[in-house]
Amino acid sequence: MSFEGSGEEETTTGSAAGVAGYTQVLRTPGVPLWAFVMVCQRLPVAMAPLALVYLGYEITGSFAAGALLAGGHALAEALFAPWLGRRFDLRPANREAFLVLAAEAVLYVGLFAFGSLLPFPVVVVLAALGGGVAAGAHGGLRSLLQRLVPVSSRQAAFSFEETTSAVIWSVGPMLVAGLIVVGTPSWPTLALGVAAALGAVAALGLPSAAQGHSGAHGTKGVLRKIWPSITQDAAAMFTLGSASVALPALLTGMGASEALPGVILGMAAAAGVAGGLVYGLRRWPAQRLHASILVVLYCFVTATLALVPEWYLVAAIFVFAGLIEVPTLVSRAILVQEDLDESQWAFGFSAVYSGDGIGYGLAGILVAALLTSMGPAFAIGVCALAAGVLSSAAAAYDLFRARRAGRS
């Protein structure tokens, strides 16, 4: 897929240069409404883990029950994302977004209203359905944005989307905490439903962008094309998950304040937003090579957390890793788009998103097992190094395959 187009100002590679790319994106008809729908779709995803933990606690008095709800929600989201994302390739995105967000809203409002009255296994199923039913909307909305914007602004659109998502993920847990303070532990679950409902209504007004033809390649063909990108994205999220989960224990062992992990994670998120915006200002050369370098660098930089003895060094490494995290994800998204036919975009983006969720979830499980036996530094180091080796192998294969096929 070419990025050549008729932008206002373009680099030699065909991508609108500087802020012109972002200006083109924001001025594209339908994009402001798309952004509102995207926020309404991703805010429940960002809030759900903590919100469901507190919902389970309110219903049963046990945080373990809440963790079960959050785990079921995340697992269902990862499992259903590719297959429900495929529906966005085959159907009008506005109607599909309305259907899945409306169903999600009904499930969350139902959990809020009737969760304490239902048998807990039913609550677990409903929470899982809440995660699964709209899982394809992530890739579906991403592919819709790419169809809406000028070809020359597609890289800027990816960066705009990823940085907005980073902000949402930073704000989501704070909203949960605020709602619990002013209300009850179940209020955040109601907020999930309200956000999804607003997104569903707004989705009806989305423009209908031209859909690609169904094409000759099935979903198996898609996975064969993009499995290196899925692997490398999952490795990056596995690294992020292991570092984030182990960070409180790591800093506590250094005598740092209990509030410091939240501050460092917030700083890393802010650095990611800045890095993503800068990355989107231009089209960078050797796309496949530098995308692979970014993910490998991210993994190995994070692995150095296992070696530093002071909290301020941990903070510096975390912020630097955060700076390259969003560019890492954007660079892989661009490759997925280039490697696939337009009729396969939503499935491909959703498959990568599924890999992200699996990688992050596995990191939490592995770190939990390693923390008590080996300590947080060892847990981070082992996870990040393993992810770095895996991403290096996937990168080597991807670059070899591309060179043989004559692609960059």
Shared-domain flag, residues 353 and 309? yes
pLDDT tens digits for 271-283?
Answer: 888 888 888 887 7
Longest dimension (CA), the chain: 62
Does 6 fall in a domain?
Answer: no
Shared-domain flag, residues 188 and 265? no
Question: Any long-range contacts for 180-187 (C-beta under 8 Å, 24+ apart)?
Answer: 180/54, 184/58, 185/54, 185/55, 185/57, 185/58, 186/54, 186/55, 186/58, 186/112, 186/115, 187/112
- Side-chain-side CA neighbours of 378 within 13 Å: the count stands at 9
DSSP-assigned letter for residue 7: -
Chain centroid offset of residue 6 CA: 30
Shared-domain flag, residues 176 and 263? no
CB atoms within 10 A of CB 61: 8
Shared-domain flag, residues 199 and 223? no
Closest CA to 122 of 188, 201, 59, 213: 59
Q: Do the Cβ atoms of 360 and 238 come closer than 8 Å?
A: yes
Q: Do the Cβ atoms of 383 and 242 come closer than 8 Å?
A: yes
Shared-domain flag, residues 352 and 387? yes
Does 8 fall in a domain?
Answer: no
Shared-domain flag, residues 151 and 228? no
The last residue of a domain, from among 171, 203, 235:
203
Shared-domain flag, residues 249 and 349? yes
Shared-domain flag, residues 198 and 227? no
Q: What is the pLDDT of residue 6?
A: 36
Q: What is the pLDDT of residue 17?
A: 55
Query: What CATH number did the domain enclosing 112 receive?
Result: 1.20.1250.20
Q: What is the pLDDT of residue 246?
A: 85
Q: What is the pLDDT of residue 357?
A: 85
Q: What is the pLDDT of residue 8?
A: 38
| CA separation for the pair 114, 190 (Å, rounded) | 11
Shared-domain flag, residues 317 and 398? yes
Does 255 fall in a domain?
Answer: yes
* Structural domain count of the chain: 2
| CA separation for the pair 67, 52 (Å, rounded) | 7
Q: What is the pLDDT of residue 396?
A: 93
Shared-domain flag, residues 98 and 46? yes
Does 174 fall in a domain?
Answer: yes
Domain of residue 89, residue span: 19-203
- Assigned token pair, 221: 């063909």
Q: What is the pLDDT of residue 374?
A: 85
Does 116 fall in a domain?
Answer: yes
> What's the whole-model pTM score?
0.84
Does 286 fall in a domain?
Answer: yes
Q: What is the pLDDT of residue 4?
A: 35
Q: What is the pLDDT of residue 207?
A: 84
Below-50 pLDDT ranges, the chain: 1-14, 214-216
Does 165 fall in a domain?
Answer: yes
Q: Do the Cβ atoms of 352 and 249 come closer than 8 Å?
A: no
pLDDT tens digits for 128-159?
Answer: 999 999 999 999 999 999 999 988 888 889 99
The residue behind tokens 């159907």 is 91
